[in-house]
């Protein structure tokens, strides 16, 4: 019996449903069922924190969970776990170099930045200059300069950092951010790359000199008489309209805001939502009036630049959204990461979703063989994604018009 008890203990984490089964069927029956638990009874819960799509080969997708980093080369049918160099590191986000796509960067929890020079096969630390005294650096986001990808910016819990040598070294860029240290999000103007926006724990800051200095631009975001201004509004995501870069969206812990004048003033969008937690925001390729917004209450779509919104949650078994990534050219395909429900894919422009389990489908115990299979080939034959059209749920929400 002691051997049997140890067997249950060993398998409890692998099969979390066993405790309830034991109560119903008895200990002896459970012992016989350990190796034949029905599919789904012990499914892993994936808390997705980031999704990144390859800029030119969109069948390649990187997914970050609280446990690991995964990569697919066939649009999500098969996955490989990327672990060499990351075994003791918790990754929070990834960024793929838009010019040299084999270079992938990872921002981590308490361990700075890592770089992979080979599409995620192996990872190397790139932390020179990132530490601030003895304080550990959590990297919340990494963004590239739009034309010079040797230049990167890091949003961290101890400030903004800039690298001009492909991540080999970093330099703090916090001049005039006297009230703020906690940087959550960054966005670089795609037309005028010396202009950057920083989403912080206390609103938004703007730089016009490549992050050398910053100006607070909180009119309409944070009341001027707000107490604890440095913690008054957490801005989680920033999105710049490439057709008119003076239009910027800021998704925050208190809803969605929009500026038409480069941050001189902001107006709250979707006021019917109230204090909605907005985690992620993307444009539809080729149409910046069409936005997809991930929130703590699910996915929403706007077809008029954020004035009205429609709920789009058909197929999602978890509506606590943490990440969205669009196919760069196909407006019908997007990926959504949830907090506890795993990864989902839409093939009809966000109207409905299908779950994509992050399961390695390559069998065998030889790790080198799995990696070779995962990374082999020229990555130049796109997988065919079948089309589906399913009508999603619709809930129209009207907000104040921005003028």
Q: What is the 3-state secondary structure (H, E, C) of the chain?
A: CHHHHHHHHHHHCCCCCHHHHHHHHCHHHHHHHHHHCCCCCCCCCCEEEEEEECCCCCCCEEEEECCCEEEECCCCCCCEEECCCCCCCCEEEEEECCCCCCCEEEEECCCCEEEECCCCCCCEECCCCCCECCECCCEEEEEECCCCCCCEEEEECCEEEEECCCCCCCEECCCCCCCCCCEEEEEECCCCCCCEEEEECEEEEEECCCCCCCEECCCCCCCCCCCCHHHCECEEEEEECCCCCCCEEEEECCEEEEECCCCCCCEEECHHHCCCCEEEEEEECCEEEEEEEEECCEEEEECCCCCEEEECCECCCCCCEEEEEECCCCCCCEEEEEECCEEEEECCCCCECEEECCCCCCCCCCHHHHHHHHHCCCCCCCCCCCCCCCCCCCCEEECCCCC
Cα–Cα distance measured from residue 322 to residue 338, given in angstroms and rounded to the nearest whole number: 5
Closest CA to 317 of 287, 350, 340: 340
Determine, yes or no, domain membership for 224.
Answer: yes
Q: Check whether residue 14 and residue 146 sit in a common domain.
A: no
Does 267 share its domain with 388? yes
Same domain assignment for residues 76 and 222: yes
The Cα–Cα gap between 179 and 233 comes to 13
The pLDDT score that the predictor gives to residue 227 is 58
Same domain, 266 and 373: yes
Tell me: do 56 and 169 sit in the same domain. yes
Domain that holds residue 29: 2-36
- Considering the domain boundaries, does residue 248 fall inside one? yes
As a whole number of angstroms, the distance between CA 257 and CA 204 comes to 11
Question: How many angstroms separate the CA atoms of 132 and 44, rounded?
Answer: 36
Residues 112 and 29 in one domain: no
For residue 64, the cross-strand partners are 50, 69
Are residue 161 and residue 32 in the same domain, yes or no? no
CA distance 177 to 34: 57
- Specify whether 166 is located in the same domain as 28: no
Q: Check residue 51 and give its pLDDT.
A: 98
Which residue has tokens 């104040």? 400
What's the confidence (pLDDT) of residue 12? 37
Whole-number Cα distances in Å, 48 to 43, 105, 115, 321, 338: 15, 17, 20, 9, 5
In a domain? residue 43? no
Stated pTM of the model: 0.81
| Same-domain status, 16 and 79 | no
Could you give the number of structural domains in the chain? 2
pLDDT tens track for 190-242 = 999 999 999 999 999 999 999 999 999 999 998 877 757 778 899 999 999 99
Task: Please answer whether residues 11 and 34 qualify as being in contact, where contact means their C-beta atoms are separated by less than 8 angstroms.
Answer: yes
Assess if residue 73 is contained within a domain: yes
Q: Which two tokens stand for residue 282?
A: 């993307």
Whether residues 291 and 337 fall in one domain? yes
Decide if 276 is inside a domain: yes
* Domain-located, residue 41: no
Query: Does residue 243 sit in the same domain as residue 138?
Result: yes
Residue 403 located in a structural domain:
no
> Per the structure block, which two tokens stand in for 166?
């492909």
Q: Does residue 326 lie within any of the structural domains?
A: yes
By CB atoms closer than 10 A (0-12, 13-18, 19+), residue 20 is exposed
Q: What phi-psi label fits residue 86: left (phi over 0), alpha (psi between -120 and 50 degrees) or beta?
A: alpha
- The 10s digit of each residue's pLDDT in 15-25 is 444 344 334 33
pLDDT under 50: residue ranges of the chain: 1-42, 363-366, 369-403
- 166 and 244 fall within a common domain: yes
CA-based torsion, 323, 48, 79, 17: positive or negative? negative
CATH code, 87? 2.130.10.10
């Amino acid at each position: 019996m002691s051997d049997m008890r140890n067997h249950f203990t060993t398998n409890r984490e692998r099969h979390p449903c066993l405790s309830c089964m034991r109560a119903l069927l008895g200990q002896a029956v459970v012992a016989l069922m350990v190796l034949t638990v029905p599919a789904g009874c012990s499914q892993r819960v994936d808390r997705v924190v980031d999704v990144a799509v390859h800029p030119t080969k969109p069948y390649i997708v990187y997914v970050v969970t609280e446990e690991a980093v995964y990569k697919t080369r066939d649009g999500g049918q098969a996955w490989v776990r990327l672990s060499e160099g990351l075994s003791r590191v918790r990754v929070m986000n990834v960024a793929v170099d838009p010019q040299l796509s084999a270079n992938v960067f990872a921002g981590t929890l308490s361990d700075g930045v890592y770089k992979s020079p080979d599409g995620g096969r192996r990872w190397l630390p790139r932390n020179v200059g990132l530490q601030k005294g003895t304080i550990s650096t959590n990297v919340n986001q990494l963004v590239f300069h739009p034309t010079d990808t040797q230049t990167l910016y890091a949003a961290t819990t101890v400030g903004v950092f800039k690298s001009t040598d492909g991540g080999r070294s970093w330099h703090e860029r916090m001049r005039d951010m006297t009230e703020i240290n906690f940087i959550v999000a960054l966005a670089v103007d795609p037309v005028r790359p010396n202009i950057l926006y920083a989403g912080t724990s206390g609103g938004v800051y703007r730089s016009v000199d490549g992050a050398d200095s910053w100006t607070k631009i909180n009119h309409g975001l944070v009341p001027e008489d707000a107490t604890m201004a440095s913690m008054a509004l957490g801005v989680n995501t920033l999105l710049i309209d490439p057709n008119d870069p003076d239009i910027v969206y800021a998704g925050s812990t208190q809803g969605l805001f929009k500026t038409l004048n480069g941050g001189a003033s902001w107006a709250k969008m979707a006021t019917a939502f109230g204090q909605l937690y907005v985690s992620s925001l993307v444009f539809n390729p080729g149409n910046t009036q069409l936005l997809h917004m991930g929130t703590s209450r699910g996915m929403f779509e706007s077809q008029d630049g954020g004035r009205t919104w429609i709920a789009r949650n058909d197929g999602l078994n978890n509506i606590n959204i943490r990440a969205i990534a669009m196919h760069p050219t196909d407006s019908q395909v997007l990926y959504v990461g949830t907090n506890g429900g795993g990864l989902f894919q839409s093939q009809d422009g966000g109207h409905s979703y299908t779950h994509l389990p992050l399961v390695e489908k390559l069998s065998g115990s030889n790790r080198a063989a799995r990696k070779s299979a995962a990374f082999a080939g020229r990555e130049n034959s796109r997988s065919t994604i079948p089309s589906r059209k399913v009508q999603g749920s619709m809930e129209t929400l009207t907000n104040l018009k921005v003028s």
